[in-house]
Amino acid sequence: MIEVHVVNAFLLADYREQGWFTCVNYVNGLVAPAFLFVAGFAFAFTAERPLATAEEKRAKLFRQLRRIGLILAAGYVLHLPGFGWTKVSQATQTEWLKFFQADILHCIAVGLLILVAAREYLGGARGVLRMAAVVGSLSVLVAPWTWTYDAQAMLPVAIAAYVNGTPFSQFPLFPWLAFMMAGAVVAGTYPRDGSIEQVKTWVRRVGLWGLAVFVVAAIARWPDWAIGLPGVNIRVNPWFVAERVGVLLVLVWSAAQWSFRHAELSPGLRDVSRETLFVYFVHLMVIYGDWFDGHSLAFLYKQHFGIIQTVAAVLALMAVMTAASWAWQRSKEKSDVRSRYAFYFGVAVCIGIFFAR
């Protein structure tokens, strides 16, 4: 995700017109679906872990709801008109519309709420699986219809942003929630108590299903085919979603093959994987935060870098985020309570700076 945002912000526009960038753009376009897919997979995979007491269940539910609230808050903070009360109080209507847009964190937060409710009220992991299948299917099937309406004229702006791409939403629930629910469905079919051979059989089936779905969807989306729904916006075309779900299933197969040959992740990669929200939030603040006399790096160096400079920026930011994740993980291992208070203190300082600016 770091590479995607660095390329979008800094790479010269001339390179985007070259043939090789089509491949880069396609791969980059898989990052958001993968992020959603993994979020759904991770939740559903742990949905059936047994807890000894009702108190433990309540504590787990509280932690999950707290994290969901943090994810949602982070999504809105990233779209503030500026980091300072003065700038926010003078924001234009367009800036407020951008603030209320539904981004990937908003989609994840809503999706997690749905899955938590399914686990609590529909029978644990089986309820999660059923709910994910229904919600995922509906989000794809009704998306072309929801995008034909001016949701902003029918609903409050804050709610309309979740319905379709008007006016600035990049990841509304329809159809992007489908990727998260697909991850939950795949995790729900995992043979938790099976042998290694059963797991390998499951992996092979996931890979074959992924390949089949990708091929069918890619053919169906062929420009000259009526089945490709040519009149439907590409972002809400069901075949667009299916094609990417197919790729994600193949990637699950690839990741499983790698895990069969390696005992565990490298320490750096493991730390980053545990702090995805932290990495996502901080690297976006580095790129788009208005830290330089009211301007961001993305504004000052907009589409200004060549290939070497862009690659260097990606590697540098990845190194910084890896080091920061490592430091935060070590801090939590030493004292989770102190780390939590350090986080609260940091939030309080940021709020104070915000109102002072």
In the chain, domain spans: 2-190
Over residues 188-215, the mean pLDDT reads 91
Q: Which residues contact 214 (CB under 8 A, 6 or more apart)?
A: 243, 246, 247, 249, 250
Among the listed ranges 74-78, 140-144, 191-195, which one has the minimum average pLDDT value?
191-195
- Residue 17 confidence (pLDDT): 86
Distance CA 98, CA 118 (A): 31
Q: Which residues contact 78 (CB under 8 A, 6 or more apart)?
A: 103, 105, 281, 284, 285, 288
Distance CA 133, CA 149 (A): 25
Q: Which pLDDT band, with edges at 50, 70 and 90, does 177 fall under?
A: very high
Model confidence at 265: pLDDT above 70: no
Model confidence at 266: pLDDT above 80: no
Model confidence at 133: pLDDT above 60: yes
- Residue 227 confidence (pLDDT): 57
> pLDDT: is 348 or 60 the higher one?
348
φ, ψ for residue 284, nearest 5 deg: -70, -35
- Residue 224 confidence (pLDDT): 54
> pLDDT: is 235 or 147 the higher one?
147
Contact present, 171 and 178 (Cβ < 8 Å): no
- Residue 274 confidence (pLDDT): 80
Q: What's the Rg (C-alpha) of the chain? A: 21
Give tens-digit pLDDT for 7-19.
999 999 889 888 8
Q: Look at the pTM and tell me if it is higher than 0.85.
A: yes
- Residue 350 confidence (pLDDT): 86
Distance CA 275, CA 325 (A): 6
- Residue 131 confidence (pLDDT): 94
Model confidence at 225: pLDDT above 60: no
Q: Which pLDDT band, with edges at 50, 70 and 90, does 313 fall under?
A: very high
Over residues 160-181, the mean pLDDT reads 91
Model confidence at 312: pLDDT above 70: yes
Read off the DSSP letter of residue 296: -
Q: Across the chain, what does the average pLDDT equal?
A: 88
- Residue 232 confidence (pLDDT): 62
- Residue 118 confidence (pLDDT): 92
3-state helix, strand, coil in the chain (%, to 5): 75, 0, 25
- Residue 52 confidence (pLDDT): 62
> pLDDT: is 326 or 49 the higher one?
326
- Residue 196 confidence (pLDDT): 87
